[in-house]
Structure 1
Amino acid sequence: MTVFKCIVTLKNGSHTIKRFNRDIVEKLAYAFRCKQRDPWLRERYANLFKSLDLIPQLVTKLLFINEYTGERLELA
């Protein structure tokens, strides 16, 4: 099982570090991209952010780091 470290940057500049498996990373990356493009989809994915203890309106950037290979994926 692949584990990713996620560094979440909030609007006030603070950072939160969380660890997720691949399934959650895929869902979170898709939800974040949809949140940026279409304001109507914010409500649809709000529950995903809330279940991960994140507030979607405060998240400005996500950085995923694969803990085994060191690969990075940054969403801003």
Structure 2
Amino acid sequence: MTDAVDYIQSPLCQDFSADGLTVSIDIYRTEDSNWILEIVDADNNSTVWEDHFETDAAALEEALDGLKQEGIQAFVGTFS
């Protein structure tokens, strides 16, 4: 039997739109972990950061910086 993991969702989660595209910025953790950052597009393709963050605010800042520097297109579509 496996124990279900309870995730804590950050209140800072939000949608981000640019150039006619929208992604979801998901920030979550377990009781025993730091914050995990994931960006998910409309087709459920996701980009998850390998590094975790001490605060949800730091994770949001990283997401917004990445979207600004790389553009939203870098986070949309299928990845290989």
TM-score by length of 2: 0.28
Alignment TM-score, normalising by the size of structure 1: 0.29
Of structures 1 and 2, the one scoring higher in RCO (CA 8 A, sep 6+) is: 1
More helix by share: 1
Which structure's CA Rg is the greater one? Answer: 2
